[in-house]
Structure 1
Amino acid sequence: MSQSATSPKWFNSRTAMAGAALLAALGLAGCSGMGMGASSTPSAVKVTNGTLTDQHGMALYTFDRDATAGKSACNGKCAENWPPLAANDADKPSGDYTIITRDDGKKQWAYRGKPLYLWTKDKMPGDQTGDGFMNVWHVAKP
């Protein structure tokens, strides 16, 4: 392979191949946490039309009053209306998804530190009637 007039003197086919191999290795290493094509979304969560839903297609919500990452501020009557997205001991967090322990000791899924909830007034997959409720509830988006 001949050297072009614009290539530095140290550049040759051997350095080009080494550089390509290094970039490929770095690219693969950077993807290893993402599962190389496998989703890092847990089975309890799906992405549907640009929003997070549960496995049945019901909208998931975040609560502005969950101000401390990994901590739910929605308990008691609040949690009756906004059921937490339950996680169990067999579930494994991955990527942006974590599992938090609620005040009652139950496990709940969180996305980027924000606990995820359903809304009891959503009746069918695709409903998002809780979005903007009291200006503190919002459809969760990836």
Structure 2
Amino acid sequence: MKRVASVFAVAVLGAAGLTACGGGNGYSSSGSGSGSSAPAGQSTGGPAKLAVATVGDYGKVVVDGNGRTVYVFDKDTHGTSNCSGGCLAQWPPVPAGNGTAQLTGIEPSLVTTITRSDGTKQLAINGMPLYLYASDSQAGQAGGQAVGGLWWVVAPDGKKITTQPGGSGNGNGY
């Protein structure tokens, strides 16, 4: 009987965990977003860095200071993040850091900072908030491209690149 109760408890906790992730679709469109932790390897103490790198079949795209590909989210609006809750676990915001962002290959007039609902600052390009994809563990990866038909890598001119990834695709958000 004890074993049955343990299995049941694990099943309930697992279901609760999936619910917290926005139903497993990789995004939540409610609210303006929250969460303030900086992505691994990128400090919010100094100025943020953005550069341009050639990534896969997408050509030249915007990357963060660690060379990780950045993305925009179709459910965001100009100057407002709509990624919150479980979405932030998969799509951490690119923090603005302190001071003027250091840019390589990107027109400075395109890059701005937005204030998230929790008061933290996030970089934006053409007014669209920028994110990393948690599953992209190193420079040169773009596993978040076209996830859920909502997430896109960004060209140096600030426009999203909608080229579909090769291979089997990216599922529905994770």
Q: Give 2:84's aligned residue.
A: 75
Structure-2 residue corresponding to 1:58 = 68
* CA spacing shift, 1:91–1:75, aligned 2, 3 Å: farther
Q: How does 1:100-111 map to 2 (within 5 A)?
A: 100-111=114-125
- Secondary structure at the aligned position of 1:79 is classed as helix
**Paired residues of 1:75 and 1:103 also in contact (CA < 8 A):** no
Q: 1:43 to 1:102 in 2, by over 3 A?
A: closer
Tell me, which stretches of 5 or more residues in structure 1 are unaligned?
1-41
Between Structure 1 and Structure 2, whose CA radius of gyration is higher? 1
Deviation, 1:76, is 1.6
Q: State TM-score, norm by structure 2.
A: 0.54
CA contact (8 A) 1:48 1:57 kept: yes
Report the residue type matching 1:52 in the other structure: V
Question: Are 1:62 and 1:117, in contact at CA under 8 Å, matched by a contact in 2?
Answer: yes
Indicate the percent of aligned positions where both proteins have the same amino acid.
Answer: 38
Structure 2: where are the runs of 5+ without partners? Answer: 1-46, 55-59, 103-107, 157-174
In structure 1, C-alpha distance between the alignment counterparts of 2:81 and 2:49, rounded to whole Å = 18
Task: Output the aligned Cα RMSD.
Answer: 1.7
Structure 1 segments (4+ residues) deviating >4 Å: none
Give TM-score, length-normalised by structure 1.
0.66
Deviation at 1:92, TM superposition (A): 5.2
